[in-house]
A = this chain, B = another copy of it.
């Protein structure tokens, strides 16, 4: 079922992404062109407090041209392990470090066009280490109870893939 790559041309190299065009041979022998956005990958963290409530961050996203309510997340640095990145990003964004990190899902946000992989962790046993998280990121922290998470999901207030997956995982694994 594979496609065989016969030519690769780099078309754009930015700070985060690289775009390449591939000429491929399909299963039926025909040729086709594919454009692929190469991305270093990222982590997202569902931070659950002892009482079961969840930390979110509000952040302006230029591609969406609006403020989104998301679970904390960040890009992987070169050579960085996803667990290390999750630990670092959580402290940077909400000022807590996780006592426990559990890998919940590994997925491609947009597999038709990009090789970006997202590692989604559940973080618990949270310990506060900073009074104020990094102010350069312009994040607003929001803590929601389980009932609020449910209501927000129903009202379509979660608008990105990692947050929807994290929230569904959270609600489904606590559905009792």
Contact = CB atoms under 8 A, between A and B. Distances in A.
A33 B64 CA distance: 16
A78 interface: no
Do most interface residues of chain A lie in helix, strand or loop, or is the interface mixed?
mixed
Contacts of A33: 15
Contact of A64 (B37, B111, B156): B111
Contacts of A116: 110, 113
B108 A68 contact: yes
Given A27-B138, A164-B107, A63 B113 contact: yes
Chain A contact residues (Cβ within 8 angstroms of B): what range? Answer: 35 or more
B161 A63 contact: no
Interface stretch (A47-55, A83-91, A124-132, A167-175): A167-175
A112 interface: yes
